[in-house]
Structure formats: C-alpha cells, structure tokens
Structure 1
Amino acid sequence: MLVSLESGAARACVDLHGGELRSWFVGGRELLWNADPVWWDQSAPILFPIVGSASGGQIRVDGSGRPMAVHGFARQHEFAVSGRDPASITVTLTSNQEIRKVYPFWFQLSVTYALAGSSLTASFSIANLDRRSIPYALGFHPAFRWPFDDVPRHEYKIRFEAEESPLVPEVTSDGLISARRRLLPIKRRILDLADELFTSDAMCFLNARSGWFSLDAGGSGSCITLEATGFPHLALWSRPGAPFVSMETWTGHSDPEGFTGDSFEKPSMRILAPGETADHCVRLSFRTAD
C-alpha cells in the first residue's frame, strides 16, 4: 500500500511494504529513483538489523547460525501506520514470532518521514522491548536519478563536507569487507562520478569525517544533499550504466572477510540495552539553480 505526503509544491510517497520511500518530488522534478527492475527494483530501502552481507548468509546468536538476507529483513515486511498528517507519516515494524526465528529479539523499529519545503527528513527510532540487550545495524539506502537535471551525466559529482580518505575497502564477491583497499580519484572533497567507479560494488567510507555529502549537477548549481545524524558510515553504490546513484548512510557494515563470531562481537554493531531507544536521522534537501 502506498501513502502520499504533500507540503506545498513538494510531494512524497511511502510504501508500507518495507516502510520504503518510493517518491520525492520537489520543484517540478522527481528526484528519487523509480525502482525500474531493469536496473534495480528498489528506491530507498531500510536496512535492518544488519547492513550489507553476513558471512555465509548467516548471523550467529547464542551459538546458533540463523539465515539473514543481505541488508536484513526489514525491507521484506509490512509496516503499520502509527501516525500521519498531510506532510508526514510514521510507520512501524514490531517483532513477531516469524521474525524471531531469524532474529530472536523483541524490538520496534519506527520511521517518520516528514516533508518541509524542499527538504525531507527520515527519523528512525529503534526500541529494545526485550529483557536482554540486542545487537543491530541500521542503514538508509536512497537512490537518486542520475541525471536529475538538464546537465550531461558525466558532469555529475559527489561533494563531501570534509576531506575523505581516497583509500576505501574492497568488497569481496560475496559482499564482505576486505582488508584490501582501492584508490578513489577524490580531489579536494570532490569525486567525479563515472561508471567505472561502480564495477567493484559499493564505495564504503567507514567512519567518515563528513556529516553530509551531496550529488551536484555539474556547474548548474542544483544539488541533492544528504545530512546524517547518528550514522558514522557513508557509501555510494550504483551499477555501471544505471541511471541512478545511491547515497547511503550506515551505523554498521558487512562482516569483515573471515569473520565467524557472534552478532554481539561483530565490528560496528550497536548494542541496545533492555528498555533503551536509539535515534538516527537523515535529512535530504534539494537546491535548484533557478
């Protein structure tokens, strides 16, 4: 089921399946990728309770292996509407017996999408409803049209708030984080987008210095900026030739190559104590050259 939001000239659409943002329309432009299955059948999935891949397709909890899909299961479940007005909606996923077969914890994941002018905010809240601590990772995976403006595709750039290391981890063929590094052509906080950057999976900026990064339409002055709070990792992903680029924010990441430990021991997982709630936020904003 799709739910529409509206604020002035801005519009958005949220799918209750996966709680996924499916459309973001500002200033006469659709900015979000349209989930064309020829390239990628999603627009902005929520990643939970892991980000990326688990070694062997399994997580380990209490000494037992449990199957876990890439980026977790949240995007495969129906969310319930727990609050709504014309410009915002809150959707919630609560654990149940089916979910506990793969992730044996009681939790509630809520997401509030809110439009305000040329900005859209996605606020995430994770509540531990269990009697013991729970391990989790959360990610937001929005993809934007490339190009989104009347500028040649090869003129688009990623601009970072701060200088990032040009050395990023290689991603293995099964999606794990390698100890090997690859060199990116970042110059003075700018990465020129090109298809060849995406032949080796995602570019992962772990423990990034930047709190925001933007997709700039060349020298036109138009840009989409993603500002993250409570997400230490940033990533870029696409497929060579695809008319979109995904700007991602993560609290965690794929298993390191060779990792076989418990979920509580996995690097970059958050541990949430009983009764605690963790909040994370992403703000998308669009600036036009007009």
Structure 2
Amino acid sequence: MIFTVTLKNDKLTVEINTKGAELNSIKVNGENRLWSGDPEYWTGKAPVLFPICGGLPDDKFTYNGAEYILNKHGFAKLKEFTVEHKNDLTATFLLKSDDETLKSYPWSFELRITYALRGAAVKVTYDVKNTSADAMYMSIGSHEAYACPEGIEDYDIIFEKKENLNSCDLDGNLIAHSTTPVLKESDTLPLYYKYFAVDALVFKDLKSRSATLRNRKTGKALTVSFEGCDYLLLWTKPGAGYICIEPWTGIPPMVGSGYDITEKEGITAVEPDKSSTVSHTIYF
C-alpha cells in the first residue's frame, strides 16, 4: 500500500511517498519549496533515477550477449519501496530486485534511499548493494523540481566556482555530437525558458560541486551540493513554474554508441556483495 512518510524539525517539514521513495514536499516555514506536480506541465516532483539516468538507444542495452529493454530513467520511480527505518528526522526506504526488475535489468540488488533532516537542510543518500554473483552496472540520479512560482526568468543559478560551460545537445534521449555554450568565466547563469525549448541543459565538465537557485528580485535561495556526481542537468518546460537541479552519476550514451552497458559513459561497476553510495544535500 502506497503512503506518505513525514519528517519534521523546527525548520522543515518533509513528505516522502513510498512510491518511488519520491519527495512529495519540502516545507520551509510552511511554504512548499518543491514543485506541486501540476499535470498541465509535469506530474513529477522528485523522481529517483535508477538503474540508469536518461535514456538508452532504442530503450535497450546488451549484457553477456542478451538484450534488455529498459525505459528512460529506469524503474525505481515506479516501484513501491518499503520503509526500513524511520524516526522524526530520518527515514530509509528499501527497494529489492524482484522478478519484474530482473526482466529488464539482470542483476539482483538492494537500493536504500535515506532522507535526513539536518537543521534547514535535507540530505539524500543513495546506497546500492549488489546482491548478484557478477559485477553490476548502474547509474543513479536525482530529479528534484524546485518551485519558481514567478517563472524561472526571475532566477539565477549560481555555481560554487566560475565556469566555462557548454551544454551537451540532445538528440531524442541521447547525447548529440555537438554542444552549445551557455556560460563563460562566470559563476552566474541567468535562467531563460529558451534554454529548454528542446530539452535540458546537460553539463559534463563542471568544476563546481554545488549550485544555488536564487530569485534575483527577492533574494530567496536554496543550494544543492552534489559531491560524487559528475554530471548536472537543469530542466523545465517552457512556461512552467519550476526548475529541476539534477545531480547524476551517469549520462545517456552518445548518438551512434553501441548497446553494451559495460561500455556506457558514466556507468558504475559494483562488485558482488559491495555497495555504491552517493549523496546530495539541499540547503534552505
């Protein structure tokens, strides 16, 4: 049965759904700073991307000579997690492989997602344990959508360091063999809907390990730190009142790449009975 878990301290109230272990709301002094999921634009709020981030060529990959169909962003966002642990400040959600996941992903695993309140911050930790007999190949990423009720063009993304950023162009669900320059020797990227007319901004060469979303008129801000994630995406739909700040450990293949998952850029190999752990933190 799908239900909602609530965490609360004197600064934050956080709700997480057992479906997908997805954040449902983050309230700061009673104000929800996550996107509402308005179906006119996008019903998602903060899906967890596992065991891939983005898409695959023809939605498939090969491993050991066998072919598997795996849809964009994987299946974790659609699965019901169990609540393994909970108190007022932390909750851990568990997803284990099952007969259904093994049809599209030939490894057994345990995925634990822990949400922890630390003052005015939410730390999100992904721990993936390989319970298979062979090395497991995976990526994981976040997709939180932060509310921008005035529209995103009142906002800047401010990086930890000055950046020279080229966004990887997209061809459908894959990375194209071209880039578009969006930032030169600056730490501040003003947001415009024109950036998202096709899809997302995809950054592979980021030096920063944190990014701040700030309303340039009011000064209201939040910061996402993402140690351990080599890729960062920004995404919205034209006219929508949200921006997604998405730290990923993996990235879609380039157009023309093969199907072998072991050769995929950004893939993480986890040895049997070992775990891969990565986290990001949202500061308000």
Q: Which category describes the TM-score, using the shorter chain as reference length?
A: over 0.9
- What stretches of structure 1 of length at least 5 have no aligned partner? none
User: Residue 248 of structure 1 corresponds to which residue in structure 2?
Assistant: 246
Q: Deviation of residue 186 (structure 1)?
A: 5.2
Contact 1:186 1:192 in 2 (8 A): no
Q: Which amino acid aligns with 2:283?
A: S
* Number of equivalenced pairs: 282
Q: 1:175 and 1:102 mapped to 2: Cα distance?
A: 18
Q: Deviation of residue 164 (structure 1)?
A: 2.6
Q: 2:209 and 2:57 mapped to 1: Cα distance?
A: 29
Q: Deviation of residue 219 (structure 1)?
A: 4.7
User: Residue 157 of structure 2 corresponds to which residue in structure 1?
Assistant: 158
Q: 1:78 and 1:65 mapped to 2: Cα distance?
A: 26
Q: C-alpha deviations, 1:90-122, integer Å up to 9, x for none?
A: 001110121101101011110001112211110
TM-score by length of 1: 0.94
Residues 187-226 of structure 1 mapped to structure 2, 5 A cutoff = 188-226=186-224
Q: 2:268 and 2:158 mapped to 1: Cα distance?
A: 28
Q: 1:9 and 1:138 mapped to 2: Cα distance?
A: 28
Q: Deviation of residue 187 (structure 1)?
A: 5.7
RMSD: 1.4
| 25 and 162 in structure 1: CA distance in 2 versus 1, 3 angstrom threshold | same
| 117 and 280 in structure 1: CA distance in 2 versus 1, 3 angstrom threshold | same
Runs of 4+ residues over 4 Å off in structure 1: none
TM-score by length of 2: 0.96
Which of 223, 226, 229 does residue 227 from structure 2 map onto?
A: 229
User: Residue 274 of structure 1 corresponds to which residue in structure 2?
Assistant: 272
Residues 21-100 of structure 1 mapped to structure 2, 5 A cutoff = 21-100=23-102
Contact 2:165 2:206 in 1 (8 A): no
Q: 1:102 and 1:192 mapped to 2: Cα distance?
A: 40
Q: Percent identity?
A: 29
Q: Secondary structure at the match of 1:164?
A: strand
Q: 1:9 and 1:265 mapped to 2: Cα distance?
A: 44
| 207 and 110 in structure 1: CA distance in 2 versus 1, 3 angstrom threshold | farther
Contact 2:165 2:205 in 1 (8 A): no
| 208 and 132 in structure 1: CA distance in 2 versus 1, 3 angstrom threshold | same
